[in-house]
Amino acid sequence: MKKKIYIADLTHTASGLTSITFPLGTALVTSYAKHICNDSFEFRIFKFHDQLTRAISENPPSILALSNYTWNLEISSKLSAWAKRQNPNLIVVFGGPNFPINKEEKLLFLQQRPVIDFYIENEGETGFAGLLMKLEEYNFNATAFKRSQEPIANCTYLNGEEIIVGGIARIQDVNIIPSPYLTGILDDYFNLPLAPLVETTRGCPFSCTFCADGLVSKNKVVAFTTDRVRDELYYIAEHVKNVDEIYLSDLNFGMYKRDLETAQIISKLQSEFNWPARLKATTGKNMPKRMIEIAEKLKGSWITGHAIQSSDAEVLKNIKRSNISVDAYSEFSTYMKKLDKKAQVFTEIILGLPGDTKEKHFETLRYAIDSQTTRIKSFGCMLLPGTEMASKETRDKYKLVTKFRIGAGGVGIYKFGEETTPVAEMHEIIVASKDMSFDDHVSCRVMNLLLEAYYNQSQFEEIFAAIKMMGLSEFDLVKHIHEHNELYTPKVKEIIKKYTSALKENLYDTFEEAEKMALRPDRVDRYISGELGFNEHLTCNGLLYFNMEETLSIMLEALRMFLLEKKLLTSSVQDYFTQLGNFILCKKREFNKFELLLEKSFDYDFEAIDVLNYKIDPRNVKRLNKPIHLKFFHNNEQKREISNGLYLHRDHTDGIYRLIYETRLQKWYRNFQQSHIPIEFNDKNNVLPDTAKKIREQKPSRRSWEDIS
C-alpha cells in the first residue's frame, strides 16, 4: 500500500477566508514530488482545516506537510500538534518563506516548535522531493534519519540540540515540474470562490532588505515556457466559474520580453472567453516602455503600477533599493490614463522603513501624486522572518521599535477531531525608530487613510482635476483635510477614532502577550466577530466610502477654505464645485446597489466636461441656460462583474471592504446620460446599436459611450 502524504496551504475560516487564491505552491510541490518519486506515494492537497482533519482521522497519513506564511503559521502549528497526538510516528514537514535566514535564529525557531520534524526552505519542490526519497531509504523512520545528520538541499532539521542545514539548490529548468492545472490536481478549487493563481517566472533580481524574495539565492530568474503558460491559461479559462480575475505570482511582471507573449495570450482569452476582466500581478521596477506595450494589449484590465516604497534617497539606500526615474514613472502613468480613462496606476509605499520620517513619508506621498499615480497603497512595515531587515544588526542600527499585533482574520476556535483549539496569528511591525516617533507614525497612517478615501479609486478625481487646472496641489488639499479635523462630521470623527484606536490598542510587546490577549475567553469571540483585531485600513476606508455624502461635505468645506486662502473663491466657483459634488455622489456612491437608477438635474454640461476628463478651470465654466437632466445607471456587464466580485469576496475576512480596496472601482461607477434617452441593452450587455447611434448623434465626441457600443 502506498504511503499517504497530505500537503496543506491552510487559510483561517472563522472570520472568513484570509487567503482567496488557489493553493498553487503546495500543488507545484505535489506535482514535482509525484514526478520525481515515480508516483510511489498517494498525495492529497488541502486548503481548509476541516477537510484536512477529517482526512487525518479517517485515513491517517505518514507525512503531513504544511505551508508557512505570516497568515497561517499558528493554525498550521496547532493542527500538526493535534495530528501528532493522534499518531506520534507522523512526520511533520513545514515549508515557506516565513523562516529565518540566520542559523542561530533557525535553531531557535525549530526549538520553539518541536512538532516540526523538517523545514523546507527556498524552492520547496527540490527540498521536499529530496526529503521523501531520503525518508524512504530509512523506511520512514525520521529519528533514524536525523541521527545520520545527512544534509538535504533546501532542508533544515534538528538532531537533538544540533541543527543540520542543507545547501541551497535551484531547479534550473522549472518546466520539469508537471503543471498542477493540466494534470487536474487543482480541479476541485474551480468550484469555490477562489481566484486562480499562475506562475510564469520565478525569482527576483533585486535585493530589497524588507522582502523574503530579496535573498541572493533567489536572484536568478527562470521561466516556464510560453506553450505551458498558454495551455494553463486556456485550461483555467475553460474551467473558471463566476470569478473574473486571475493572479500571477511573478515578482516583476512586465520586465521581460516573454511577458509580452503572456499578455498576448491573456488578450486572446479576453476576446474568446470574455475573461479575465482583471489581471493582478506585481509590476517590475524597470522597463516602463515594455509595460506600456503590455498594458496596451490588456486594454486596461491589468491593475498596474510601481512599488516605490519611498522617494527618499537615504531610505532607499538603507533598504538596498533603487527606483524607476520620475520622468519614466510619469510617462507610464500618463500613457495608461490615455489608454483607458478608467485605468488604475498604483504605487506602493511602506511607512517606517529605516531612516524614514514623517516629513519624508509626506514627500513620498506628494511625489506619487505628482507622478500621475491614481492609486497610492500605503502599508505599515512588517518585519518578516527570513529578511535582512529583521536581523538584530538592522534593528540595533536604526533603533527599530516593534510591536506584535494580532492578524486581521487570524483568530479562530477550531475543531481538530474531538479537540477544540483556539488559534491566533501574530505579526511583528515597526511602529517607531530613532527617526520617527510613534505619534508621527499614527499621524502618517491617518494621512494614508485620507488619501485612500479621497484620492484613491478616483472617488473625487473630478474635483482634483479642476483644482489642478486652477494651479493648485491635489496633495495639499488632502493635507489641509488632515490638518483641520475640526471640519470632520460626527460620523467621520467616529470612523477616524475607530481607526486610530485600532492602530494604538492592537499592539503588544511580545508574541506571547499578543497571543494570550487574543485567546482570552472574554475576547476571542470579539476577535472572531471582527469587533477587535480587524483590518483597520480596509474597514475604515470602506466605512468612509459608504458615508460618501459626509466625506464629500468635508472636502467641499476644506476646498472652500483652501480657495479662500488662495483668494480664488467666487460664488460661481463654489456653485460649480457644489454641483460637481452632487454629480459625483450620483455616479459613485454605493456601487453594490447596481439596480439603483438615480436622476438629478444640473446647471453645467457634465457630458461635455466628462469628455475633457474634467480638466477645466471652474472660473471659465458657464452655467447652462436650461438645466440638463441626467440619469445614472449600471450596465449589464458592470452588474455581472460586481456580482462576481461580491461572490469572490463573500467569504473573505474583510468582505466587501477588501473588494473596495483591491478592485478597480472606476469600472464600476455608474454610467450617465440625458434622461430622455432610453436605456436599452442587448444580450452582450452593451448599449443597443440604435441607442448608441442616438447618443453619438447627440454628442459625437461622447467617447465613453463609444466604448460601450
Q: Which cell goes with 409?
A: 482574520
Residue 296: predicted pLDDT:
83
pLDDT digits (tens, 9 = 90+) for 57-99: 999 999 999 999 999 999 999 999 999 999 999 999 999 999 9
pLDDT digits (tens, 9 = 90+) for 637-648: 999 999 999 998
Q: 114 preceded by cis ω (within 30°)?
A: no
Residue 204: predicted pLDDT:
79
Q: Provide the mean pLDDT of the chain.
A: 89
Give the type of residue at 395. Answer: R
**CB 430, CB 380: distance < 8 Å:** yes
Tell me what the mean pLDDT of segment 485-500 comes to: 97
pLDDT digits (tens, 9 = 90+) for 584-609: 999 999 999 999 999 999 999 999 99
Q: How far is residue 400's CA from residue 435's CA, in Å, rounded to a whole number?
A: 9
Cα 686 to chain centroid, rounded: 30
DSSP labels for 367-407? HHHHTT-SEEEEEE-B--TTSGGGSHHHHHHTT-EEEEEEE
Residue 205: predicted pLDDT:
65
Residue 702: predicted pLDDT:
26
Residue 308: predicted pLDDT:
83
Q: Encode 469-506: b = buried (16+ Cβ within 10 Å), e = exposed.
A: beebbbbebbbbbbeeeebbeeebeebbeebbebbeeb
What share of the chain in percent tops pLDDT 90?
73
pLDDT at 319 over 70: yes
The residue whose grid cell reads 502506498 is: 2
3-class DSSP assignment, residue 48? coil
pLDDT digits (tens, 9 = 90+) for 339-349: 666 666 788 89
Which of the four pLDDT bands, split at 50, 70 and 90, describes residue 687?
A: very low
What dotted CATH number matches 3-165? Answer: 3.40.50.280
Ranges of CATH 3.40.50.280 domains, the chain: 3-165
pLDDT at 324 over 90: no
Give the type of residue at 531. Answer: E
pLDDT digits (tens, 9 = 90+) for 183-229: 999 999 999 999 999 999 988 766 666 555 545 556 688 899 999 99
Among residues 380, 360, 370, which one has the least CA distance to residue 314? Answer: 360
3-class DSSP assignment, residue 325? coil
Tell me what the mean pLDDT of segment 149-158 comes to: 97
If one compares 688 and 140, the residue with the highest pLDDT of the two is 140
Residue 690: predicted pLDDT:
35
Residue 682: predicted pLDDT:
45
Residue 653: predicted pLDDT:
77
Q: Which stretches within 398-521 are classed as H helix?
A: 438-454, 461-469, 474-483, 490-505, 511-518
If one compares 278 and 578, the residue with the highest pLDDT of the two is 578
Q: Which long-range contacts (CB under 8 A, 24 or more apart) does 212-219 make?
A: 212/97, 212/98, 212/384, 212/386, 212/387, 213/97, 213/251, 214/320, 214/387, 214/388, 215/101, 215/386, 217/122, 217/168, 217/170, 218/122
Residue 58 makes CB contacts below 8 A (sequence gap 6+) with: none
pLDDT digits (tens, 9 = 90+) for 377-405: 999 999 988 788 888 899 999 999 999 99
pLDDT at 358 over 60: yes
The residue whose grid cell reads 477588501 is: 658
Residue 642: predicted pLDDT:
94
Residue 707: predicted pLDDT:
28
pLDDT at 610 over 80: yes
Residue 200: predicted pLDDT:
95
Identify the weakest region by mean pLDDT among 270-284, 317-331, 407-421.
317-331
What share of the chain in percent tops pLDDT 70?
90
pLDDT at 612 over 70: yes
Residue 347: predicted pLDDT:
86
pLDDT at 679 over 90: no
Residue 701: predicted pLDDT:
30
Which of the four pLDDT bands, split at 50, 70 and 90, describes residue 689?
A: very low
Residue 329: predicted pLDDT:
65
Residue 697: predicted pLDDT:
34
pLDDT at 708 over 50: no
Q: Which residues pair with 419 in a beta bridge?
A: 416
pLDDT at 476 over 80: yes
pLDDT at 696 over 60: no
If one compares 121 and 101, the residue with the highest pLDDT of the two is 121
pLDDT at 686 over 80: no
